[in-house]
Amino acid sequence: MNGKLNFCVALLVVCSLTTVNAQIGSWEMGIEYPQDNEDVPFNVKQDGTASIEFFVSNDELVDIVVEFEYEIPFEGEADGPESETIGSGENKSFILSVSGIDVWSFAADSKEQFTIRANMVSRAGLPVGLPGENRESSGELRIPTIYSLEIDISDPVGPMNAGSDAILRVSVVNHGNVQDKVGDIEVTDNCPLLTTDNGLDSLMTQNIASGQTIEADLVATASESHPRRNCKVEVSISSNGAMNSGEASVVSDDTTLTVEPPLQNEEGNSGGNEDGNSESVTEVVSTSLPSLGFVQIVVTLAVAAGYSRQRSN
């Protein structure tokens, strides 16, 4: 009898261990990859965020409790569930929100791995102390390509005179995370008698590395007949990289040119020039009295002559 009893006890122990082992291996965790392909990375947005969906499926006969851990690359921050209860036969989905990635600090299309861990802490309300009670899944985050040019026009040092030129220094900075260049350039102003040259065309021939600055000079010329006026000069540029990728990235800056009347040549009071040659100056004196005609002059002289004869007699 004792032998049979020992055999039954041993059989129960084996069956119990088999059941426990079956329960241990019957829950899973996974990630919902883009296009259902684990080799396709999750794209980080320009604001440094990304959203990752993952799940835990529980095919055991009892409820389980799992705790989550996250490892985020690119110095990002994770916002996801800390602990969850998954019921028996339940498949539960969760969202991991990634934020705080400075996409401008990393090269375009850079990829690094993130990891999600799920550790089982209890089964059917009982703590789990056996090893192997955790699951882990990984994927990749990809930095987007960002085209971002900035333009700056230096302010003039002072006003310009009609009939003269003014030079405006124009700077372009690449704040994006990929090499770029200037696409189109447009220069406008609100003064019809002010013209600008093509000095900024050189900007379109230079590649601009991320963080690099290039410069060119724009020459503005005021006509000699230009009146006194404040002229607004505006320069707009577009990103060549953004244009080629089907995006629109146009930036502009402006400054004000003050146009004064032309300078006048001053002469000395002596009436001579630098070569010593004197020039005759004709002074015109005007009067408000009416001018006399020829007939009136003759009559006046005759009257004066008659009056003179009368006095001599």
Q: Are residues 42 and 131 in the same domain?
A: yes
Does residue 250 form part of some domain? yes
Q: pLDDT digit string (tens) for 105-151?
A: 999 999 999 999 999 999 998 998 766 689 999 999 999 999 999 99
Would residue 197 count as lying in a domain?
yes
> Whose CA is closest to 55, among 94, 89, 88, 87?
94
The residue-averaged pLDDT of 198-210 equals 96
Closest CA to 52 of 101, 105, 93, 104: 93
Phi-psi label, residue 35: left if phi above 0, alpha if psi -120 to 50, beta otherwise: left
- pLDDT higher than threshold 80 for residue 274: no
- Tell me, yes or no, whether 138 and 154 share the same domain: no
Question: In the prediction, which pLDDT does 291 show?
Answer: 43
pLDDT value for 302: 52
Residue that is last in its domain, among 97, 125, 142: 142
Q: Of residues 96 and 15, which shows the higher confidence score?
A: 96
Give residues with Cβ within 8 angstroms of 231, minimum separation 6: 189, 190, 191, 194, 220, 222, 256, 257, 258, 259
Q: Is the pLDDT higher at 75 or at 10?
A: 75
Q: Per mean pLDDT, which range of 12-21, 49-58, 89-98, 247-256 is the poorest?
A: 12-21
- Give me the mean pLDDT over the 172-180 stretch: 96
CATH number for position 189 = 2.60.40.10
Q: In this prediction, what percent of the chain has a pLDDT beyond 70?
A: 75
Q: Does residue 18 lie within any of the structural domains?
A: no
What pLDDT, on the 0 to 100 scale, is given for residue 6? 47
- Range of lowest pLDDT (4-13, 97-106, 115-124, 261-270): 4-13
Both 176 and 245 in one domain: the answer is yes
133 and 34 co-located in one domain: yes
User: Do 188 and 130 sit in the same domain of this protein?
Assistant: no
Rounding to the nearest 10 degrees, give the CA dihedral for residues 276, 279, 285, 291.
170
Give the pLDDT score at 198.
95
My answer on whether 138 and 29 are in the same domain is: yes
Residue 130 is predicted with a pLDDT of 67
In a domain, 136, yes or no: yes
Q: How many domains is the chain partitioned into structurally?
A: 2
Per the structure block, which two tokens stand in for 131?
Answer: 């090893």
Boundary residue ending a domain (118, 142, 166): 142
pTM of the entire structure?
A: 0.68
Its domain, for residue 57, covers 23-142
pLDDT cut 90: percent of the chain above it: 69
- Contact (Cβ atoms closer than 8 angstroms) between residue 75 and residue 112: no
Please check whether residues 115 and 158 belong to one and the same domain: no
Mean pLDDT of 280-294: 39
Does the pLDDT of residue 12 top 70, yes or no?
no
**17 — pLDDT class (breaks 50, 70, 90):** very low
37 and 63 inside one domain? yes
Domain boundary among 142, 173, 191: 142
Encoded tokens for 192: 């019809």
Domain check: are 29 and 132 in the same one?
yes
Average pLDDT, the chain: 83
Q: Mean pLDDT across the stretch 197-222?
A: 96
Compute the distance between CA of residue 73 and CA of residue 80 in angstroms, rounded to an integer.
15
Q: Is 2 inside a domain boundary?
A: no
- Per-residue pLDDT for 307 more than 60? no
In this predicted structure, what is the pLDDT of residue 306? 54
Please check whether residues 56 and 91 belong to one and the same domain. yes
Residue 303 has pLDDT above 70, yes or no: no
User: Is there a domain that residue 217 lies in?
Assistant: yes
* Arithmetic mean of pLDDT, 173-200: 95
Give domain status of residue 312, yes or no: no
Q: Do 252 and 170 share a structural domain?
A: yes
Q: Is 205 inside any structural domain?
A: yes
209 DSSP assignment:
-
- Shared-domain flag, residues 64 and 137: yes
Looking at residue 155, what is its pLDDT?
A: 93
For residue 8, what pLDDT is reported? 42
